Structure 1
Amino acid sequence: MRLSIAPSLLEIQNLRFAYPDQPALADRWSAAIGEGVTLLYGDTGSGKSTLLRVLAGQQPASAGQLRAAGVALDAEPAAYRRQVFFCEPASEAFDALSVQACTALLGEGDAGFDNAEWQRLVEAFSLVPHLEKQMFMLSTGSRRKVGLAAALASGRPVVLLDDPVGALDARSIHGLWQAIERRVAQPGRAVVVASSERVTEVPLAACIELPLG
């Protein structure tokens, strides 16, 4: 495991997570994730999605501490979650909302949300004809694009992406990596990409491989 030497935006200390009667996904794992792109690499079913939910503060760890942009999850959970963007790709929570309403909800409380970047991504992802549609009406790929556009336009320091290229067309994949590069070119921005494929499209600041310990 190679860790970034950039200033730490996501600090992980002695993290442990395990489902009952299952081997631990992380056992006393510590890391400091800095600016740039960090690849969270593991086979399908290795627990990458679960670990992202833990890092997002959406699923409790068995032990350990998390700190995002200097904010500790255990001390200030709401403030911690405002430092981290994570949208579950398969979530049905937004089904009844239009694309625009879903985006507004995902960007709630995000004072640094970049509307110009969001519009650029909407066009790159061919979402313009779908903005008034309810989320349940969209294909799997288009639903993912809505979350990705909100994520990469977010002003939050840490963005967690779960298999971001899944179900995307080639044009959208190209636009995705371009947007990630634009994002991490800005100071104080970290993107964690969970994938079962090696990432070669953008330079990596770090690669973390599962299992963790």
Structure 2
Amino acid sequence: MIQARALGWAHPDAPSRPVFSGLGFTLRPGLTLVRGGEGRGKTTLLRLLAGELQPSTGTLVRPAGRVCLPQPSDQACDAQVARDWLAAQLAGVDLRQAAPLIDAFGLAPHIDKPMFMLSTGSRRKVGLVAAALAGAPLTLLDQPYAALDARSCRIVSELLAEAAESRERCWVVADHERPSWLEGVALAGLVDLGD
């Protein structure tokens, strides 16, 4: 369980203009949606949850343990072969377990290419494979449907519907609105950052 109390974050160069403040929520196993308009702090909140950033105000209590925040679009990954990036994200997991999902996403022809050669959608799919198989107690996805074709969106929806039923893993999806692909999926929680 993860708890935030009076959570706030402001860029160090603009401490008097917080991106958000006063957030309070509890994350439980299952699927939680972080909803907010452009610039409202969705990605920032995910980075706080991942431990990449520290709160400016308030408290964020989360148990120690692995966190999966796949970011294959990061330029630092550009030269890395997609298979190698995936192996690094899934340390200790036999990559053969990823084969069905790699095939379902149509990644097989691209998995041995450097990341810079992959489209935005293909890079996102590589990250989604990592998220699905990482087994991390906390999995964070930033706009998982962006740049995906309809078939891939259906696969993501199946993954997230399964995640919503989890009693062990907490999945957090950040997006502008509740994606239409998630209609009918029960959410464990909603964190609304406003428009």
Classify the TM-score, shorter chain.
0.7 to 0.9
Q: How does 1:9-158 map to 2 (within 5 A)?
A: 10-19=2-11, 20=14, 23-68=17-62, 70-71=63-64, 80=65, 82=66, 84-88=67-71, 90-108=73-91, 111=92, 113=93, 115=95, 118-158=98-138
Q: Deviations over 1:101-127 (max 9, x none)?
A: 00011223xx5x575663232122110
- Unaligned stretches of 5+ in structure 2? none
Task: Write out per-residue CA displacement over residues 29-53 of structure 1, whole angstroms, 9 at most, x where no aligned residue.
Answer: 2221011111100112222111111
How many residue pairs match? The answer is 189
CA contact (8 A) 1:152 1:180 kept: no
Deviation >6 Å, runs of 4+: none
Q: What is the alpha-carbon root mean square deviation over aligned residues?
A: 2.0
Which of the residues 151, 163, 168 maps onto 2:143?
A: 163
The answer to which of 59-68 and 91-100 deviates more is 59-68
Q: Secondary structure at the match of 1:37?
A: strand
What 5-or-longer segments of structure 1 have no aligned partner? Answer: 1-7, 72-79
Letter of the 2:157 counterpart: W
- Assess if the C-alpha contact under 8 Å between 2:35 and 2:177 holds in 1: yes
Q: TM-score, normalised by structure 1?
A: 0.80
TM-score normalised by structure 2 residue count: 0.87
